[in-house]
Amino acid sequence: MSKQTLSFQAEVAQLLHLVTHSLYSNPEIFLRELISNASDACDKLRFEALNNPALYEDAPNLEVRVSYDKDARTLTIADNGIGLSQQEAIDNLGTIAKSGTREFMGRLSGDQKADAQLIGQFGVGFYSGFIVADKITVESRRAGAAAGEGVRWTSGGTGDFEVETIERAQRGTSVTLHLRDDAQDYLNTWKLKDIIGKYSDHIALPILMRKEEWKEGEEGKGGEMVLTDEWETVNQASALWTRPKKNITDEQYAEFYKAISHDFEAPLAWAHNRVEGSSEYTQLLFIPGKAPFDLWNRDKKAGVKLYVKRVFIMDDAEALMPTYLRFVKGVIDSADLPLNVSRELLQESRDVKAIRDGSTKRVLSMLEDLARQEKEGESDEAKAKYGKFYAEFGAVLKEGLGEDFANRDRLAKLLRFASTTSDTVSVSLADYKARMKEGQDAIYYITADTLAAAKNSPQLEVFRKKGIEVLLMTDRVDEWALSHLSEFDGTPMQSVAKGAVDLGKLQDEAEKKAAEEAAEAFKPVLAKLKEALKDKAEDVRVTTRLVDSPACLVVKDQGMSLQLARMLKAAGQAAPEVKPVLEVNADHALVKKLDGSVHFNDLAHILFDQALLAEGGLPDDPAAYVRRVNALLV
């Protein structure tokens, strides 16, 4: 193939239009993205060369070079990493199908600063070059390929790109930016060094630039700085996690996090430790401030970066971090694992289990510190950090109740909920327990689809009347997670929508006696209700939990809730048929009207369907419900 012109994938064309109109609020970010890509290419070569050392060819020292040509007005970022084949150049630079581009475009809000935070997460950092360039030329050859198999990719960032075969002696990739008129200030050694120092100093490879020297002008007419043929390293060129903590600034930690996570916000917290003992490893772990777009995709590979003896092995070593901590970013560098470690070996290794356990404890310690600052922090910013974390990741953290038995108690202390006394998700189980009423022997909670549905549930009426706080749980994971937490600090957890209500010492003898008498007097009506609703309700009984409502639905103590059954069905999963218990308020006028009514069957079904509506469900036959209500209204 000599040369061919191809069209960009439709979403790429949209993206390029967006990028060229300054998606980034800070245009110098383009250099960070391109250097990061070059570093990744070198990491990939190092990994593939573990099994095939010949890929190093005659250049074993990996590096990134940044150079510019003032006359040609070009800036070039070159690496001697893995390189691209011709097809890879077409696939990787002409489409971003794997990056979820359509979803990326859909998430853009028009807020330039907010939108800038998305681009790196979707793996489209290469296109940031068009912020400063009106044309980009990429020349590359894959390691191990013949010199005649090089490729040149060229585009002006509009609707198409050109690809041609070239002769290229060096492996790796050179990205040449033909700078716009308003971007000529990047043709400056001092400015480029400043940007590299700010964003890319942590890169473990040397980043090289030509040295400058002063050249005197002719006949004493002054002089100028000119580039020499000598190259110098302009970054520290050592992996950040291998440096002593005392030599690393908060800004350097934050920039390292941004580079590995493609996040534009600083992390909420981080931990940098060297662990010695039966397993030796270094961990540098970060807690992000914002959830990624695909947090709830449990099939997506997630996990920290794994290095062995400073050699990059894999990006998403999920075996080193439990699934419920999949939001954690960072690096683990092991001194014990073999260099040719595979995903299969990771699953079986005792060293990996030790690293996983140690890293989990370290993350939980970071979260406990944030939670402590929530109460004791010296600044408003420190106090707000845990709330910010929990708003983004609290629902994921709850998965740990069912996945991590060893740390269940620590996780339970980190949970936060809204309650009948607080609309904000800020009540811990310890807070709740500290203000339980005298004689209360359980932590009461209710699960619902929304906060409004939880707050207005009929099941809460007697608790509200007696001033008993109830936790309101509205995350989809709550019902499943709470099934793995039967008690907290010795106090049982009790759903107000399961089992018969028993307030124990909080209910006086007169109330108990009145309830028993009402149930006895109501027996004939209960029998008729059970017969009328035998296909819908497992049982019908008189309750003391209702004050203003005529009826409500509950399930047996160990039964699956109606909400969870609905969620499973909506997700296309098999769910057992749940027949709830109908509880009626014998003092309610509508219930009293049942006795002797000629519309008994219609009223019975209306009671049941209204109770179902009140707790977020829908009648099996909505049209029949409407007909019954209309008939009674007429």
- State the architecture of 3-237 in CATH terms: 2-Layer Sandwich (3.30)
> How many angstroms separate the first and last alpha carbons of the chain?
81
CATH topology of 241-375 equal to that of 416-500?
no
| Alpha helices (H) along 54-188 | 86-94, 101-107, 112-119
Q: Looking at residues 294-310, what average pLDDT do you find? A: 77
52: which 2 tokens?
């095939």
Q: What is the pLDDT of residue 574?
A: 67
- Residues with Cβ within 8 Å of 606's Cβ and at least 6 positions away in sequence, in order, are 625, 628, 629, 632
Tell me how far apart the alpha carbons of residues 357 and 178 are, in angstroms, rounded to a whole number: 50
| Phi, psi (rounded to 5 degrees) for 576 | -65, 150
For 209, the 3-state DSSP assignment is: strand
Q: Looking at residues 14-27, what average pLDDT do you find? A: 64
97: pLDDT strictly greater than 50: no
For the chain, the C-alpha Rg in angstroms (whole number) is 32
Q: What is the pLDDT of residue 507?
A: 66
240: which 2 tokens?
């950040």
* Angular region, 377: left φ>0, alpha ψ -120 to 50, beta rest: beta
* 189-199 helix and 250-261 helix, angle to the nearest 10 degrees: 90
pLDDT per position as a tens digit, 136-170: 999 999 999 999 999 999 998 877 889 999 999 99
Tell me how far apart the alpha carbons of residues 625 and 608 are, in angstroms, rounded to a whole number: 10
Distance of alpha carbon 75 from the chain centroid: 35
257: which 2 tokens?
């996090």
Q: What is the pLDDT of residue 101?
A: 46
Tell me how far apart the alpha carbons of residues 275 and 255 are, in angstroms, rounded to a whole number: 24
- CB of 369 closer than 8 Å to CB of 293: no
135: pLDDT strictly greater than 60: yes
Which pairing describes strands 329-334 and 311-317: parallel, antiparallel, or unpaired?
Answer: unpaired
Residue type (1 letter), 603: L
Selection from 451, 492, 508, 457 nearest residue 475 by Cα: 451
pLDDT per position as a tens digit, 368-399: 999 999 888 778 888 889 999 999 999 999 99
Tell me how far apart the alpha carbons of residues 39 and 200 are, in angstroms, rounded to a whole number: 10
Average pLDDT of every residue of the chain: 84
* Rounded alpha-carbon distances, angstroms, from residue 624 to 578, 607, 627: 21, 13, 5
Q: What is the pLDDT of residue 110?
A: 58
503: which 2 tokens?
């307030």
98: pLDDT strictly greater than 50: no
Residue type (1 letter), 159: G
Place of tokens 């990493």: 81
Check whether domain 416-500 has CATH 3.40.50.11260, yes or no: yes
543: which 2 tokens?
């309750």
pLDDT per position as a tens digit, 320-373: 899 999 999 999 999 888 776 776 667 777 888 899 999 999 999 999 999 999
**What length is written for the chain?**
634
> In what helix (H) or strand (E) does residue 137 lie, and over which residues does it extend?
strand 133-141
Selection from 37, 33, 79 nearest residue 59 by Cα: 79
Tell me how far apart the alpha carbons of residues 594 and 601 are, in angstroms, rounded to a whole number: 9
CATH among 3.30.70.260, 1.20.58.220, 3.20.20.60, 3.30.230.80 for 241-375: 3.30.230.80
185: which 2 tokens?
């200030």
Selection from 304, 339, 310 nearest residue 204 by Cα: 310
- CB of 379 closer than 8 Å to CB of 277: no
For 519, the 3-state DSSP assignment is: helix
Q: What is the pLDDT of residue 121?
A: 46
Tell me how far apart the alpha carbons of residues 292 and 289 are, in angstroms, rounded to a whole number: 10
- Residues with Cβ within 8 Å of 299's Cβ and at least 6 positions away in sequence, in order, are none
Beta strands in 157-259 (DSSP E): 160-166, 172-179, 207-216, 223-233
> Partners of 487 in the beta sheet?
492
124: pLDDT strictly greater than 70: no
> In what helix (H) or strand (E) does residue 542 lie, and over which residues does it extend?
strand 539-542
Domain ranges of the chain: 3-237, 241-375, 416-500, 506-633
| Phi, psi (rounded to 5 degrees) for 536 | -110, -40
Q: Which residue has the higher pLDDT, 22 or 312?
A: 312
Reported as a pLDDT band with limits 50, 70 and 90, residue 406 is very high
* Rounded alpha-carbon distances, angstroms, from residue 431 to 354, 400, 410, 411, 413: 33, 21, 15, 15, 10
Sheet bearing 487-488, strands edge to edge: 422-427, 417-419, 471-473, 443-447, 491-495, 487-488
* Angular region, 309: left φ>0, alpha ψ -120 to 50, beta rest: left
79: pLDDT strictly greater than 80: yes
Least confident range of 25-39, 185-199, 428-442: 25-39
Q: Looking at residues 11-15, what average pLDDT do you find? A: 67
- Residues with Cβ within 8 Å of 480's Cβ and at least 6 positions away in sequence, in order, are 402, 564
pLDDT per position as a tens digit, 27-46: 887 898 899 889 889 988 98
- 60: DSSP letter: -
| Alpha helices (H) along 209-336 | 250-261
Q: Which residue has the higher pLDDT, 295 or 580?
A: 580
528: which 2 tokens?
């008729």
Tell me how far apart the alpha carbons of residues 435 and 589 are, in angstroms, rounded to a whole number: 35
Residue type (1 letter), 158: T
- 266: DSSP letter: P
Tell me how far apart the alpha carbons of residues 42 and 61 are, in angstroms, rounded to a whole number: 10
pLDDT per position as a tens digit, 531-574: 988 888 888 888 888 888 898 888 877 666 767 776 666 666 66
Which pairing describes strands 539-542 and 581-584: parallel, antiparallel, or unpaired?
Answer: parallel
Which pairing describes strands 304-308 and 223-233: parallel, antiparallel, or unpaired?
Answer: unpaired
> Partners of 582 in the beta sheet?
540, 553
Q: What is the pLDDT of residue 100?
A: 43
- State the architecture of 506-633 in CATH terms: Up-down Bundle (1.20)
Tell me how far apart the alpha carbons of residues 539 and 446 are, in angstroms, rounded to a whole number: 21
